[in-house]
Chain A
Amino acid sequence: MAPEPGRADPEGSPGEAVLGLEAIVASAAMPASEAMLLAVAGHLAGLAEADPDREVCGLVVAPGGGAAEAWPLPNVAPDPSRAFLVPPEALLLAFRRLDAGGGALLAVYHSHLSGGAALSASDLEVALAGGEPVLPGVAQVVVALEKGRAVRVRAHRFRTGRFEGLDLWPTGGREG
Chain B
Amino acid sequence: MTSPRRLDLRAHACPMTWVKTCIALERLAAGEELEVWLSAGEPVDSVPRTAAEEGHQVVSLSPLDGGAPSGWRLVLRKGMAEARLALP
Contact = CB atoms under 8 A, between A and B. Distances in A.
Whether A associates with B in a native complex is yes
B65 A14 contact: no
Contacts, number: 44
B8 A2 contact: no
Contact of A3 (B3, B5, B27, B65): B65
Given A15-B29, A16-B27, A6 B2 contact: no
Nearest to B3: A20
B25 to A, nearest CB: 10
A1 B33 CA distance: 19
B6 interface: yes
Nearest to B27: A12
A7 interface: yes
B53 interface: no
B47 interface: no
Interface residues of A, number: 21
B24 A10 contact: yes
Nearest to A15: B29
A67 interface: no
A10 B29 contact: no
A4 B64 CA distance: 11
Interface of B: 1-3, 5-8, 20, 24, 26-29, 32, 34, 37, 64-65, 73
8 contacts: A4-B6, A5-B8, A10-B7, A14-B27, A17-B28, A17-B29, A19-B2, A20-B3
